[in-house]
Chain A
C-alpha cells in the first residue's frame, strides 16, 4: 500500500467540493477512462474575476481524488490571475507531498485548471500540441518537455511519474531519454551574467516578495530572509510554515526552485532557527 500523508488521506476520505456544479462559468476536463484517471473542474467566477466556488468530479485513485479536492480548496477566493499561477507542485505542497509514482495526479489538476481558465476567457481548449511520443497514454513531446523543465526531471522514471509517458509498453523510452538529454543540454547552455553579492541579495528579496510570499501567505504562512552567504540562502519560516511538518518540502520544492529559476541556478535554501 502507498504511503500517503495525513493531508492526502484527509482529502481522500472526506473530499471537499466533490460533485457537479450546475451554473459553472469555467469548466476544464482532462484525462480519460483509458488512461485511468480523469478530472472535471468546475468554477464559478464572479464579475470581479474572483473564484467564488470550485467543484470537481474525478475518476481516479486516492491521490487523484485528494489532488482535486486540494485544488478546489486552493482556488476558492483567488482571482483568475492568482489561480493561473498555481502549479502542480503547489498542489503537492498543499497535500504535504505525494508518492513519486502519483505525481501525475497533481499534473492532471494543473491541466484541468488551465482548461477551465481558457474556458472562462472564452478561448478554445488548446488542441494537443506537439507530436505524440507515448502512444499508450497519448502524451506529446511538448508535454514531456514542459514536465522536465518545470520539475527538473532527469530520468525516464521521473517523466513517467509526472506525465504517465512511458508507463505502458515502454516503446517510447528511448525517445523520452532523447528529450531529457535535449532539454537538459539547453539548460546548461543558458549562460547568465555574473551577479554581484548585492545584486543577488536584492533579486532574492524581490523574488521572495513577488513570487513566494503571496503563495505562503495564502496558506497562513510566511518566510523571512535572514542572510545570504555565497549561494546559501538562509531563511526563517513564519506563521503556519513554522509549524508545518511539510515546510522542508516547501522550502526545497517551491522556494529553492523559484529562486534557482529566477535568480541563480546554484542557490541552496536553508532554514535557520533562532
Chain B
C-alpha cells in the first residue's frame, strides 16, 4: 500500500539534496569543528557556509544565528533568556493558541510567580490586536507569539505586533517553526528580537533547530558549556544536521514562490473538493491569512481519531485535533480558543502538504475521504441522513 503523506506540519521528508549534502559529514569529514587542525577546520568552514544559508533565508546576519537542537529548545532559550535579562519585569504576553513548547513553559512560569497574559483569537483564529495592545505594560518582559499556527496555518501579524512591543521597549520573540520556508521572512528591517526555527519542518532532519537573536539583544544562554556558538549555546555542534539545514534553507529560498504556489493550488483543490463532496464540513481559519500548505477541516458529528484510523487503512496520513488522538480528553486548545463548537472540534482533521505531494494524491484522498465520513456518520446518533443534527448532540 502506498503512503500519501499529508502530515507535513508534524514533520517532513528529508530532501534527497539535503541528505546528499549531509552524508559525507557522518563518516568522511567527521572532524570536530572546534579542533585546531585542518581536518576539523574543513567542517568549520562548512558550518560557516550553512550559517550563511540560514541567515540568507531569514534576511539576517550569520552572527545572529544560533544552532540549537530543535524548535522547542529555541523557544525555551528565547523565553528564559528574556526573563533573565529583564530581571525586574514579571509579565509575559503570549496567545491562547501557541504550540506546547511555548504554552507549557508559560504555564510553568506562571506557577513560578510570573504573570502571563494569553491574548485571545477570533473564530477565524486571528489575534485580537486590541487586546494585545492593552496587554503591554511597563512590567512586560517579553512578548512571545507564533508566526503561523501549526494546526490551522493562520498567520499572525507578528511584524506589527513586534513594532508595538519595540515602541514600549519590550523584547519580542516569535515561534516561526511553521512559517519559515513557506512564506517570505525578512528580518533585516524588522522589530523582531528573537525567532525560532525547527529543521525537520522544512525538509532538513530532526534534531536541528535555530534561534535567531538580533544583534544588540541582551542574551543569556540556556545551555552552558563550551565556547560553541560564541558561548551562547554550549555543546559540540550537530554538524551534519547544520549542513543539512543550510542546504534546506538554500532550497527553500530558491523555490519558495514557485513551489508554494503549486502547494497552495493542491491545498485549495483538496479543500474545495471536500467541501463540495462532504456536507456539514468547515475549514477552520479559512477567513484568515493562512500558510499555503495547511488545511484544518472539521467534519461535523464524527470523531477525529476514527477518521484518521480509517484514512490510515488507505495509507493516508494526516493528524487530528480530536481529544481521543492525544490522550487528553479535551479537543484541540487551538480550535476551542477559536470557539469552534464541540460538534465540529471533535471531528477535525489537519491536512498539511509539502512540495512532494502530487495532484494524483489529492485525487486519491478526495476519492477515499467522503465514503469514510459517510460510513462513520451512519453509526452516529447525531447524524440524520438529511443532514439534520439531533438537538441532544449539542
Interface, chain A (partner B; CB < 8 A): 1-2, 12-13, 15, 18-19, 29, 32-34, 36-40, 56-65, 101-102, 136-137, 160, 164, 167-168
Contact = CB atoms under 8 A, between A and B. Distances in A.
Nearest to B304: A61
24 contacts: A12-B309, A18-B379, A33-B301, A33-B342, A33-B393, A36-B329, A36-B342, A36-B346, A37-B303, A37-B324, A38-B382, A38-B393, A40-B381, A57-B379, A59-B301, A59-B302, A59-B379, A59-B380, A59-B382, A59-B393, A60-B306, A62-B309, A65-B379, A167-B329
B328 A36 contact: no
A38 B393 CA distance: 9
Nearest to A134: B329
Interface of B: 301-306, 309-310, 312-313, 322-325, 327-331, 342-343, 346, 378-382, 392-394
A170 B59 CA distance: 44
Contacts of B382: 33, 38, 59
A13 B313 CA distance: 9
A38 B381 contact: yes
Given A18-B379, A34-B342, A164-B329, A61 B392 contact: no
Contacts of A102: 324
Contacts of B379: 15, 18-19, 56-59, 65
Contacts of A60: 303, 306, 324
Contact of B328 (A1, A19, A167): A167
Contacts of A57: 379-381
Nearest to A34: B342
A73 B185 CA distance: 58
Contacts of A19: 378-379
A55 to B, nearest CB: 10
B381 A137 contact: no
A167 B330 CA distance: 7
Given A59-B303, A65-B379, 11 more contacts: A1-B309, A29-B381, A29-B392, A33-B346, A36-B324, A37-B303, A59-B382, A60-B306, A62-B306, A101-B327, A136-B329
A169 B5 CA distance: 34
Nearest to A13: B313
A65 B372 CA distance: 14
Contacts of A64: 303
Contact of A65 (B306, B312, B322, B393): B306
Q: Which 4 A-B pairs have the closest CB atoms?
A: A167-B329, A61-B324, A57-B381, A61-B305
A15 B328 CA distance: 25
A36 B303 contact: yes
A56 B378 CA distance: 11
Contacts of B394: 33-34
A38 B380 CA distance: 9
A154 B312 CA distance: 36
Nearest to B347: A59
Contacts of A18: 378-379
A62 B310 CA distance: 9
B333 to A, nearest CB: 11
Contact of A137 (B301, B329, B343, B380): B329
A267 to B, nearest CB: 33
A176 to B, nearest CB: 14
Nearest to B323: A36
Contacts of A160: 329
A58 B329 contact: no
A227 B309 CA distance: 46
Nearest to A12: B309
Contacts of B323: 36
A114 B373 CA distance: 30
Contacts of A168: 329-330
A61 B328 CA distance: 13
A60 B322 CA distance: 10
A240 B342 CA distance: 42
Contacts of A58: 379-381
A65 B325 CA distance: 14
